[in-house]
Amino acid sequence: MAVKIYKPTTNGRRNMTGYDFSDITDSRPEKSLLRPLKSTGGRNSQGRMTSRHRGGGVKRRYRMIDWRRRDRDGIGAQVKSIQYDPNRSARIALLEYEDGVLRYILAPDGLGEGDRVVAGDRVEADTGNCMNLENIPLAMMVHCVELTRGKGGQIVRSAGTAAQLSAREGEYVHLILPSTEVRRVHGKCRATIGQVSNIEHEMIKLGKAGRSRRLGRRPKVRGKAMNPVAHPLGGGEGRSNGGRHPVSRTGVPAKGGKTRKPKRYSNRLIVRGRKRR
């Protein structure tokens, strides 16, 4: 797939880039795998805003992705089509199993229409196959990695990302994640071979505010441009730099401050953190 560059016919088109969708083989989603998706506008069940700058956007329907693939062990599947998913940056692949069952998975880079994939404890380490980490050769690139056995793929799922197996240590394997963090993951957890598709996603430039609004992203206002009643950095005579370290609207440190709660089980599995001192 290549990035499409538009001619600067308007100010909005200038510097705008988009997809050419040459990797998409079918524009019609499988109806049996569609579910309604309600827009929350960044609000929780109590109606309180927990995530700012969200709302509006084009209406979408959710594609049911098979994150586990464990109930399909040993059953071969053929890639029926590669499709666009409005809910994620990666492309998705529609699989048709030998018994006629249809499932969606994340499409790895290089997987095409007509290719065959399979899931199981011990299968060939080919692109698109899902298998236990303990049986994957070292230095292999994987994605859609489980952190808890049987829970399904939890990390390394966005476009163009991949983790690399670097070592084995007893029942665990060492994974180099896209954030450069090195983490131990149990060998019985599963991962899919290959790199996530749509590698050019990070090269896309929206170009204008309207395109951002269609994605459901509302405008962002700097804290120091607000009144003091609205933000800790607001107010002051004339222009100011905020007068304190950057914080969110609720006073949480925005740059460099530690906000992650200690997780005993998760922290002890980190071999090397992503923030090096």
pLDDT in tens, 219-234: 999 999 999 999 999 9
pLDDT at 266 over 90: no
* pLDDT of amino acid 98: 95
Domains 3-39+57-201 and 224-268 share a fold: no
Q: Are strands 77-83 and 270-272 parallel, antiparallel or unpaired?
A: unpaired
Domain regions of the chain by residue span = 3-39+57-201, 224-268
Task: In whole angstroms, give the CA distance from residue 24 to residue 1.
Answer: 9
* pLDDT of amino acid 276: 66
| Mean pLDDT for the stretch of residues 129-141 | 95
- Mean of the per-residue pLDDT values for the chain? 93
pLDDT at 275 over 80: no
3-39+57-201 domain in CATH 1.20.1730.10?
no
| Residue 241 falls in which region: left (phi positive, over 0), alpha (psi -120 to 50) or beta | alpha
Q: Tell me the pLDDT band of 255, cut-offs 50, 70 and 90.
A: confident
- In the block, tokens 């049987």 appear at 150
* pLDDT of amino acid 31: 96
- Topology (CATH level 3) of domain 224-268: Ribosomal protein L2; domain 3 (4.10.950)
Instruction: State the amino acid at position 58 in one-letter form.
Output: V
pLDDT in tens, 80-101: 999 999 999 999 999 999 999 9
pLDDT at 273 over 90: no
pLDDT greater at residue 271 or residue 2: 271
pLDDT at 260 over 80: no
| Mean pLDDT for the stretch of residues 234-253 | 91
* pLDDT of amino acid 263: 81
Query: By C-alpha distance, which of 110, 69, 107 is closest to 85?
Result: 107
pLDDT in tens, 29-55: 999 999 999 999 999 999 999 999 999
pLDDT at 277 over 70: no
| Mean pLDDT for the stretch of residues 107-114 | 95
- In the chain, pLDDT over 90 holds for what percent of residues? 87
